Chains A and B, each alone.
Chain A
Amino acid sequence: MYNVLEAENLSKSYLNKRALQGANLTIQQGKILGLLGPNGSGKTTFLKIAAGILHPSSGKLLIDGQKPGVYTKSIVSYLPDTEYLFKWMKIKDAVQYFKDFYSDFDEKKSFALLEFMKLDANSSVKSLSKGMKEKLKLTLVLSRKAKLYILDEPLGGVDPTAREKILDAIINNFSENSSMIITTHLVNDIERIFDEVAFISDGEIVLQGNAEELRSNKNKSIDELYREVFQ
């Protein structure tokens, strides 16, 4: 099996603050990896480098064998944890915006997903609640036929029912030809969808392994392991 993403000794400093300190991580095709760590551990910095938004200070990161750039951006679908939709847009404008931007965007799929999420294409973005906005962002990101999906805190700040919908959408739309990285600190809600987990602490990957093997070796849930590592 081949590695969709390989990070070797990846470091990133902002002035005198070191956000990543020699992080090593690999993700195989067809796997979902949970990148777990508290706020400020370097998760988002790592993902931004993978998405081609930030440059590493040293070390390397390859996606499908290539450095982040035009090619990797065409195969990576990235859900940032920030707002990026314009307030004046209607949902259908946001869909059009994505369609114009990405050649792998599947419009049919996006409308099926909107229906699944119970979102009305004619609603305006500024009228959406936080949970609905998360659902819309996820709809747009999952409607691309990407090789690697990067979801930064897809469950952040949404209520339990919206969380379930989001989990269902992730499971239903995951294909064995693609891979996913999902960050979260709500480990308990989502640990059953991970193949692999990596714990990140102070910019370093302190533990990576197969979720099922970790459970059976340590006799602990991933959530308990998380609490142990980051106590």
Chain B
Amino acid sequence: MDLQFDDKMPIYLQIMDHIKMDIATEKLKANDKLPSVREMATILKVNPNTLQRAYQELERLGIVYTQRGMGTFVGERKHMIDDLKQEMAKEVIDSFILRMKRLGFSEEEIIASISKNITEVNKHV
């Protein structure tokens, strides 16, 4: 697994985000089994308790489910992928807007700069 941690942020949140991203981009599909806590802890070199917490939080949010003795699996809730995409998009946009405002851009300027840059980005993708 390719995951670079930013040690300034809680590790369990970053692990949760990573799994959410894999679900949103369908690298992980409904009912896929996640690696065990111990396996993931070894791969990522983090404390097993941290992994446990990430899995528990994901379960509380209904994103994964646990089967006793079997492991943790990706949930199959309707619209989950769309919901996750929306949620992550909102985070990206919110932080973008916040940073643009800090740079002193007005709302119109922010929108204008997106329109201008989106065509340029398109050329490269």
Q: How many Å lie between the Cα of A195 and that of B50 in the bound state? A: 8
Q: Is the CB of B9 within 8 A of A195?
A: no
Q: Is the interface of B mostly helix, strand, loop or mixed?
A: helix
Residues of chain B in range 26-59 having any CB-CB distance to chain A below 8 Å: 38, 41-42, 44-50, 53
Question: Which residue of chain B is the closest to A190 with respect to CB atoms?
Answer: B45
Q: Which of A128-164 contact B (CB under 8 A)?
A: 164
CB atoms of B47 and A195 under 8 A apart: yes
- A215 near B47 (CB under 8 angstroms)? no
Interface size class of A (residues with CB under 8 A): 20 to 34
B8 at the interface (CB under 8 A from A): yes
Q: Which residues of A contact B47 (CB under 8 A)?
A: 32, 171, 174, 192-195
Given contacts A192-B47, A192-B50, A193-B46, contact A171 B41 (CB under 8 A): yes
Q: Which of A19-27, A95-103, A220-228 contacts B (4 or more CB under 8 A)?
A: A220-228
Closest beta carbon of chain A to B7's beta carbon, Å: 3
The answer to whether A215 touches B46, judged by C-beta atoms less than 8 angstroms apart, is no
**Any A CB within 8 A of the CB of B11:** yes
Chain A interface (Cβ within 8 Å of chain B)? 30-32, 164, 167-168, 171-172, 174, 176, 188, 191-195, 212-213, 215-216, 219-224
Closest 8 pairs between A and B when the two form their complex, measured CB to CB = A221-B7, A212-B10, A192-B46, A193-B47, A216-B10, A221-B8, A215-B10, A171-B41
